[in-house]
Amino acid sequence: MLARTSDPIIAIATAPGRGAVGIVRISGPQMAPLIAAVCGRPLKAREATYLPFRDAKGVPVDHGLAIHFPAPHSFTGEDVLELQAHGGPVVLQLLLARCLEAAAEFDVASGRARLPGLRVAEPGEFSQRAFLNGKIDLAQAEAIADLIDASTEAAARSAGRSLSGAFSQEIHGLLDALVRLRMLVEATLDFPDEEIDFLQEADAIGQLAELKTQLGAVQNRARQGALLREGIKVVIAGQPNAGKSSLLNALAGAELAIVSSVAGTTRDVVSETIQIHGVPLHVVDTAGLRESIDEVEQIGIARAWGQIEGADAVLFLHDLTRTALPDYAQADAEITRDLEDRLPTGVPVIDIWSKLDAAATAAPSTGVSLSAKTGFGIEALRTRLLEVAGWQAVPEGVYLARARHVQALTRVEQHIDIAAEHLAERAQSLDLLAEELRLAQNALNEITGEFGADDLLGVIFSRFCIGK
């Protein structure tokens, strides 16, 4: 795709299907000849004009609004033309075909085609143009897709903050602090005979400590943003007829899974995404775990273990009406051992004591006691799930982030920690200190896609009077 970024591109910018309005969008250079052919007149910049969209014979294909955004003041940074027509699929395809046809037609005034090389855009190419032309950074480009795909109101609001640049501004603040430190270290390395100790006078140790504090705050908000976007996968596990399907229905607030007193009713995976304070939780109900000679049930149990092994958290249901039975207690103990053996390190298992309404015995103090039938304990479970996910009640300060952003920030933290160790050793480790700061900056660059290596030289030469 990168090799074709000079081509003008066109696409239907609205979702497939019928609607009141549909948009055809074009981005490229020197749009005036195409505008004249399709719209029949020049357009004022950034002003919606109602007019007919004409075919090659001058017959209207449709009537609608045309808006011209001259470069560089457009989403892509190129000339952009938006044609807002009626939202029928056939109408939009006719309009797209007419634009492609008009682009290839010979223009007498310019002595060439009206818009040579116009082609249908590839997925995401308009946003890619915006990034390549410096209109948005990588984090903002990802926020566009996240805003479209947001499954909760909180996720949509957070994606909007990321798109407006809130996350990128935080990263730029970290970069500025990191660059100041790199300048001090590079200056000390370049002028080792100077009497002035750049690092000491500029309080490099204090600057590095402040940088780490700022990084911790950004990491916290990024983790919350990643939770809003990704959510967590919660798998309900336990013996047959322990109340797993009833719990899924209670959490979802709908009858999603078949509930029956017959053991082994659930034979396949049933999943549903629910929201808890705007955080998406992907809840999976599985077949009851037991020894079985039924071939179909064996497949369901194997799939259940597959889901469990890929979970972010497991709800292990214990039927309070049967926990006193020796066979049932032994089977629960075997499942506990299997969970310990098969789950990755760090995956939490929450013990759920179910059927509290029908139990004759008290539930243990550990875990969560509940009744899916009456709803008692369901809210406590929701709270516990948010705790396990690591969610904190700071929705207004959260911007939507991705797992790769969190991972990049973790690498920055690791490099800064090592840099602090080298800084404490002073001159003996300045080269290593400089390298760790460079690696920390590279990790930050992965988030926004900005600030190349040569930029550091420009900052150094502009802020230090080196040529004395």
What is residue 141's predicted lDDT score, i.e. its pLDDT? 87
What is residue 59's predicted lDDT score, i.e. its pLDDT? 93
Mean of the per-residue pLDDT values of the chain: 85
The percentage of the chain sitting over the pLDDT mark of 90, rounded to a whole number, equals 47
Four-way CATH pick for 166-225+400-463: 1.10.8.60, 1.20.120.430, 3.40.50.2300, 3.40.50.150: 1.20.120.430
Q: Is 177 labeled as ligand-binding?
A: no
Q: Is 241 labeled as ligand-binding?
A: yes
Q: Is 375 labeled as ligand-binding?
A: no
The band of 3, judged by pLDDT with boundaries at 50, 70 and 90, is very low
Q: Is-same-fold flag (166-225+400-463; 231-389)?
A: no
pTM above 0.75, yes or no: no
Q: Is 354 labeled as ligand-binding?
A: no
Q: Is 286 labeled as ligand-binding?
A: yes
Domain coordinates of the chain in residue numbers?
2-132, 166-225+400-463, 231-389
| Average of per-residue pLDDT across 277-285 | 86
Q: Is 28 labeled as ligand-binding?
A: no
Instruction: Give 53-86 pLDDT, tens digit per residue.
Output: 999 999 999 999 999 999 999 999 999 999 999 9
Q: Is 158 labeled as ligand-binding?
A: no
Q: Is 260 labeled as ligand-binding?
A: yes
The pair of three-digit structure tokens given for residue 256, joined into one six-digit string = 């999603």
Q: Is 135 labeled as ligand-binding?
A: yes
Domain boundaries 231-389, CATH class: alpha beta
pLDDT at 328 over 90: yes
Q: Is 244 labeled as ligand-binding?
A: yes
Cβ atoms of 377 and 385 within 8 Å: the answer is no
The fold of 2-132 is Gyrase A; domain 2 (3.30.1360)
Q: Is 245 labeled as ligand-binding?
A: yes
Instruction: Give 412-429 pLDDT, tens digit per residue.
Output: 999 999 999 888 876 567
Q: Is 269 labeled as ligand-binding?
A: no
Which residue did the predictor score with more confidence, 35 or 250? 35
Q: Is 266 labeled as ligand-binding?
A: yes
The percentage of the chain sitting over the pLDDT mark of 70, rounded to a whole number, equals 89
The 3-class SS string of 391-441 reads CCCCHHHCCCCCHHHHHHHHHHHHHHHHHHHHHHCHHHHHHHHHHHHHHHH
Q: Is 243 labeled as ligand-binding?
A: yes
* Phi, psi dihedral angles at 318 (to 5 degrees): -120, 125
What is residue 191's predicted lDDT score, i.e. its pLDDT? 66
Q: Is 262 labeled as ligand-binding?
A: yes
Cis ω for the linkage preceding 42 (within 30 of 0): no
What is residue 267's predicted lDDT score, i.e. its pLDDT? 47
Q: Is 14 labeled as ligand-binding?
A: no
The band of 396, judged by pLDDT with boundaries at 50, 70 and 90, is low
Q: Is 463 labeled as ligand-binding?
A: no
Kind and range of the H or E run holding 155: helix 153-163
